Chain A
Amino acid sequence: MASGKVVLKVGDDISTDIIYPGRFMATVLPTETPQFAFADDTEFNKKLKAKETAAGSFIVAGRNFGCGSSREQAVSCIKGHALTVVARDFARIFLQNAINLGLAMVICPTIEANEGDELEIAGGAVVNRASGKQFPIVPLPKARQAIIDAGGLIPYTRRLLMEREAAK
């Protein structure tokens, strides 16, 4: 299963304004949004742009990650850097957007980790190799499983569209 280093640790109630500041919202395409990920955290943003964060690295967050604005750029900018988000829980719209776009993420209500720790996702838990502790994962909402299985909302909607057209 996936493993990687924690490259960013943040607290509770991290808003989409922090993940993707509003002043970059005129940029919409998933191919262009990653450059502005966490733009106001200049040090981390610089690391991301210099590709110093390996694909599969982790952001570890507290509760209500992604609260605030519905802007989808907050998801696509993280996905563009191939990061996995482990949060104690997510805000509703962010979680839905993340499922729709296929962002790698894990709901882990008790996660404890620091920047630099090596994490591994294995057997329904996040294992922190630095502390040796395991933290159970809460499965993503069952109602969304069909979207996840289809590889995101675009392919899922395309399939439903074709099924409906065929049934006409």
Chain B
Amino acid sequence: MGMTIVQKILARASGKTAVKVGDVVEPRVDLAMSHENAALVLNQFQEIFQDTGREARVWDADRIAIIFDHRVPAESSKTASNQKKVREFIAKQGIRKFHDIRGDVGGICHQILPENGYVRPGAVVVGTDSHTTTHGALGAFAFGIGATEMASVWTLGNILNVEVPGTIRVNVDGEFPPHVYPKDLILHLIGLLTAEGANYKAIEFHGEAIRGMSTSGRLTLCNMTVEAGATAGIVPPDRETLRYLREVAGVKDPVELPASDPDAGYERVVDLDAAKLEPQIACPHTVDNVKPLGAVAGKKVHQIVVGSCTNGRLDDLEVAARILKGRRVAEGTRMLVFPASWRIYSDAMRLGYLSDLVDAGAVVCNPGCGPCLGIHQGALGDNETALATTNRNFKGRMGNPTAEVYLCSSAVAAASAITGVISDPREVK
């Protein structure tokens, strides 16, 4: 039997010709990403070297990326001090893939990595963030790990005791109807698989709807595979991947396009028809509580959020701006917009999307994770309801355990901003 793309990537990174599902390997890591939690990683890293008589040095400074995004600019002196400590460490170790709080190169880690060409097809990418699955969109095997695990990677350069995951193959054929987006597809899939349906597995995407999808959409898909418990999501790289790497990420060196063997083994195959999809909503308090929009249409919304590593890219802002241009955010509803990077912010400014949004009454904030995980801006009041293009709706997620968070595409978010209630973008006149 042949190998899946994930098996091939892990075999190569582990110096083997072949691996089977369940094999335990110790692949070398091509890119190790952290955000503010690098403060904890470096604490654990220094502990590893304690009493060894050796200076704490990272294995390869060029394979480490650190991006400040969770609390930018710092919301407290504690965060500022953690960021300061990390900056000092970065300077000392000579880490160059560092994206500080800056209006030119800053942004959310899962946008910064792809748009700077840090992620290549076939790479092994680990990050101290569960949404590291995002980078499977470029054909990498990318997964989230904890801070201590990362300290071990910084020390050794490989990740210990990885079990080769089985793969769920998802074939998506058909064309997306108007106002239906990759976010609707991934929400639908999570509802189908459940929050634990892909635990310890990879999800591999195929089909004409995926081949015809931009890298931006693929990033949305892979980003949220972790919400079904998946170790990783992956889109086998193709011409679109190559286009993105050359035109957007500015990659000049040769790029390989690994693929699954035709006779690779899959644990499960899910066939979906994009043409049959309609706008989806993930309802409180689990991401797999997914319903067609109609089931919750009319629900009053106090805060709308467009942004995050899931849906804060240029096409998401374009959709929101197109719907809101010349209209107004409803009284009693506030709308917050967080572009995923400053590059996107700048493009959206140049293209007029930001002024369309601001003129409509939206608040455009600086790129960063924002309210997604309730630690920076945009917390919710008691018993308020939010509708967000983010990735999680767990109780307390947006900073208030009595509040409710619904998840949707940026089209649904923008259509609902006009009315102040959950609304269908297909019905915006």
Contact = CB atoms under 8 A, between A and B. Distances in A.
Nearest to B197: A64
A164 B160 CA distance: 14
A87 B24 CA distance: 24
Interface in A6-49: 12-13, 15, 17-18, 21-23, 25-29, 40
Query: Which of B48, B50, B395 is most buried by chain A, counting CB atoms within 10 A of its CB?
Result: B48
Interface in A51-78: 63-64, 67-73, 75
Interface stretch (A88-96, A104-112, A131-139): A88-96
B70 A25 contact: yes
A1 to B, nearest CB: 26
B145 interface: yes
A69 B156 contact: no
B196 interface: yes
A2 interface: no
A26 B48 contact: no
B161 A143 contact: yes
Contacts of B147: 28, 72
A153 interface: yes
User: Interface range on chain B: under 10, 10 to 19, 20 to 34, or 35 or more?
Assistant: 35 or more
B358 interface: no
Nearest to A94: B146
Identify whether the interface residues of A are mostly helix, strand, loop, or mixed: helix
A163 B4 CA distance: 34
A123 interface: no
A154 B28 CA distance: 18
Identify whether the interface residues of B are mostly helix, strand, loop, or mixed: loop
A15 B7 CA distance: 29
B245 interface: no
B43 A100 contact: no
A69 to B, nearest CB: 5
B130 interface: yes
A156 B47 CA distance: 12
B149 A97 contact: yes
Query: Which of B79, B144, B147 is most buried by chain A, counting CB atoms within 10 A of its CB?
Result: B147
A96 B48 contact: no
Contact of B200 (A72, A92, A101): A92
User: Interface range on chain A: under 10, 10 to 19, 20 to 34, or 35 or more?
Assistant: 35 or more
Nearest to A93: B144
B161 A93 contact: no
A29 B47 CA distance: 12
Interface string B35-47: 0110110011001
Contacts of A97: 146, 148-149
Interface in B231-258: 231
B350 interface: no
A77 B151 CA distance: 19
Contacts of B82: 26, 28
A82 interface: no
Given A26-B82, A147-B160, A15 B152 contact: no
A70 B130 contact: yes
A162 interface: yes
Nearest to A73: B40
Contacts of B196: 12-13, 63-64, 67, 89, 91
Contacts of B374: 17, 21-23
A155 B118 CA distance: 31
Contacts of A122: none
10 contacts: A17-B374, A22-B375, A23-B375, A26-B76, A40-B396, A64-B229, A93-B144, A100-B148, A100-B152, A142-B24
Closest 8 CB pairs of A and B: A97-B146, A22-B373, A28-B40, A40-B401, A64-B196, A143-B24, A15-B394, A157-B152
